[in-house]
């Protein structure tokens, strides 16, 4: 059994017609999908998320109370001897909270923080 050109042309035409209608259907589906996505995005952007008609509460600004600095009580250590981070031993002449004015051998004076020095024996200092 042989097919003629007419039957082949008719079959090809039917296939083209089905393909054309399928293409049109896919195009319509794509347009509807894009419009649905645009609609969802617009809904999310323009809807406030609440359906209530009451106004949102307004924030009340208050001033924070002033913070008072913590006063640390340092022991009175005037006249005692301490070793500095460099290893020098000196006597405390004057104290202002955590700042210690110290004197060393040869009359050298320097200021150290209370946290920098450790207690030492005054026997290594010369008398006078």
Residues 103, 89: Cα–Cα separation, whole Å: 9
The pLDDT value given to residue 68: 85
For the segment 39-57, the average pLDDT, to the nearest whole number, is 74
Residues 98, 55: Cα–Cα separation, whole Å: 56
Q: Which two tokens stand for residue 127?
A: 């008398």
Q: Residue 82 phi/psi, 5° resolution?
A: -140, 155
- Cα 93 from chain centroid? 47
Q: pLDDT tens-digit profile of 22-32?
A: 999 999 999 99
pLDDT over 90 percentage in the chain: 38
The pLDDT value given to residue 95: 93
The pLDDT value given to residue 128: 57
Residue 1 pLDDT > 80: no
The pLDDT value given to residue 112: 94
DSSP assignment string, 49-100: S----SPPPPPPP-PPPPPPPP---PPP-TT-EEE-TTS-EEEEEEEETTEE
For the segment 85-98, the average pLDDT, to the nearest whole number, is 91
How big is the CA angle at 55 (ends 42 and 52), to the nearest 5 degrees? 55
Q: pLDDT tens-digit profile of 110-126?
A: 999 999 999 998 887 77
Residues 44, 36: Cα–Cα separation, whole Å: 12
Residue 33 pLDDT > 90: yes
The pLDDT value given to residue 53: 62
Q: How does residue 89 score in pLDDT terms, banded at 50, 70 and 90? A: very high
Q: Which two tokens stand for residue 79?
A: 């006249």
The pLDDT value given to residue 14: 85
């Amino acid at each position: 059994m042989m097919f003629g050109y007419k039957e082949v042309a008719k079959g090809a035409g039917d296939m083209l017609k089905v393909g054309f209608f399928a293409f049109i259907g896919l195009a319509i589906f794509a347009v509807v999908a894009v419009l649905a996505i645009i609609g969802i995005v617009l809904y999310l952007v323009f809807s406030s998320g609440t359906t209530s008609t009451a106004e949102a509460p307004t924030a009340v600004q208050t001033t924070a109370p002033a913070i008072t600095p913590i006063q640390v009580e340092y022991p009175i250590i005037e006249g005692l001897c301490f070793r500095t981070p460099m290893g020098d031993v000196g006597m405390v002449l004057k104290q202002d909270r955590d700042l210690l004015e110290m004197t060393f051998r040869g009359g050298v004076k320097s200021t150290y923080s209370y946290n920098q020095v450790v207690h030492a024996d005054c026997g290594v200092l010369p008398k006078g």
